[in-house]
Chains A and B, each alone.
Chain A
Amino acid sequence: EPEVTQTPSHQVTQMGQEVILRCVPISNHLYFYWYRQILGQKVEFLVSFYNNEISEKSEIFDDQFSVERPDGSNFTLKIRSTKLEDSAMYFCASSGQQANGYTFGSGTRLTVV
């Protein structure tokens, strides 16, 4: 069964550093997403990406965040200057038309120290 692959599974970074979280969505999917889950809390939508541009973003997704699909297969989330409160599990997801095949990756646990 097709999978969404995320790397790394766990990343520790110092406050103020830039991090890039990587995702390989399912190859024939058209919509790509990032979600965040702070420890013990619910999963929150960050951003959706379609047709090579951001289609929707939440209030959480401020100027410190950016997304990119640099080569037609990878989908990345960059946090420019990490804060302690960015520590969370970040999930990538992808889907086809009308949310068909909506699939989450296994997540990257980001710890900011």
Chain B
Amino acid sequence: AQSVTQPDIHITVSEGASLELRCNYSYGATPYLFWYVQSPGQGLQLLLKYFSGDTLVQGIKGFEAEFKRSQSSFNLRKPSVHWSDAAEYFCAVGISGGYNKLIFGAGTRLAVHP
């Protein structure tokens, strides 16, 4: 069965430090991959997505992610974190060839220290 694992439930970084959020998926074919960010009580904002092509994907707010097929991973990175990046981050895999439901990971809550 398809699944998404985000190994880190909570991460705390200092403002200005680099960030990497991990995401691993289990899916037999090439998936669609997404990263969303959610502030408390708010909706889901798309940061970036991978469908095909270049495995390094640029997104909004200075985020990027790299698809590594051999590791079944799609880790999210940012070179310098801002206090406003504190939020919950969800990785999701889209099941291609069907009706495109997304399967979400459990999320990583990011705290940013000043």
Contact = CB atoms under 8 A, between A and B. Distances in A.
Interface stretch (A18-26, A66-74, A75-83, A100-108): A100-108
Chain B contact surface mostly: loop
Contacts of A31: 99-100
Interface string A86-104: 0000010101001110111
A2 to B, nearest CB: 13
A31 B105 CA distance: 22
Contacts of B63: none
Given A42-B107, A43-B44, A102 B90 contact: no
Interface in B38-94: 41-44, 46, 49, 51, 90, 92, 94
B107 A99 contact: no
A66 B41 CA distance: 25
B43 A104 contact: yes
Interface residues of B, number: 24
A50 B99 contact: yes
B28 interface: no
Contacts of A99: 32, 51, 94, 96, 100
B12 to A, nearest CB: 18
B44 A95 contact: no
Most interface-central of A35, A99, A107, A109 (chain B CB within 10 A): A99
Interface of A: 31, 33, 35, 41-45, 48, 50, 55-56, 91, 93, 95, 98-100, 102-107, 109
18 contacts: A31-B99, A33-B100, A33-B101, A42-B106, A42-B107, A43-B44, A44-B104, A55-B98, A91-B44, A99-B32, A99-B94, A100-B51, A102-B32, A102-B102, A104-B44, A104-B46, A105-B43, A109-B41
